[in-house]
Amino acid sequence: MENYISIIRALHVLSGSLWIGEVVVINFILIPFLSSLQGDYKKNFLVNLFPKLFNLASILSATSAVTGLLMVWLISDGQWLRLTQGRWGLSILIGGSLGLLLTLFHFFMENRLAHKIGLGKNGDDHQINDVHLKLKIVPRLGLLVITSIFLLMMNGARGLF
């Protein structure tokens, strides 16, 4: 059983780390670069790159959520009430809940944004600018939430505060 938990934990940590890394790259590299582009350059960059980023975020967020739930279930022997006790349980409960909410937000709300980007292939500049504005806000909020999740999980695992 311990071997399974180690493999699941490794997948969880890897997917969570890659997910936060992707959000950092989007916020600090891609969005500022996109802001410097105009017209067809902006449109081409947006419609060719961001759907791939959304797909990667889907894989990483789902992997992180599923492995996290599985790991907690295995570690707690299915006794979910353990999550309401102590530093470990509360950190995992709050961080996991935020992670699950962020994953659901990604699949339901950001998917609409990804759809708009896909429509932007034939859309006008107003539609592209609207998507760009949302891309300035959504990833920043996502970075705040995913950083909070990361810190809560580190606290649960190692007791940082």
Per-residue pLDDT tens for 39-93? Answer: 888 888 888 888 888 889 999 999 999 999 999 999 888 888 888 988 889 999 9
Alpha-helix runs per DSSP H in 106-124 = 111-119
Cβ atoms of 72 and 96 closer than 8 Å: yes
Q: Distance between terminal CA atoms of the chain?
A: 30
Q: With cut-offs at 50, 70 and 90, classify the pLDDT of residue 136.
A: confident
Cβ-based burial of 150 (10 A; exposed 0-12, middle 13-18, buried ≥19): middle
Domain range for 73: 2-158
Nearest in space to 105 (alpha carbons), one of 83, 129, 134: 134
What's the pTM? 0.85
The pLDDT score that the predictor gives to residue 120 is 52
The pLDDT score that the predictor gives to residue 20 is 96
The mean pLDDT value of the chain amounts to 86
Percent of the chain with pLDDT over 90: 47
Number of domains in the chain: 1
Statement: residue 123 has pLDDT above 60: no
Q: Looking at residues 7-36, what average pLDDT do you find? A: 94
Percent of the chain with pLDDT over 70: 87
The pLDDT score that the predictor gives to residue 122 is 59
Q: Which two tokens stand for residue 22?
A: 């992707």
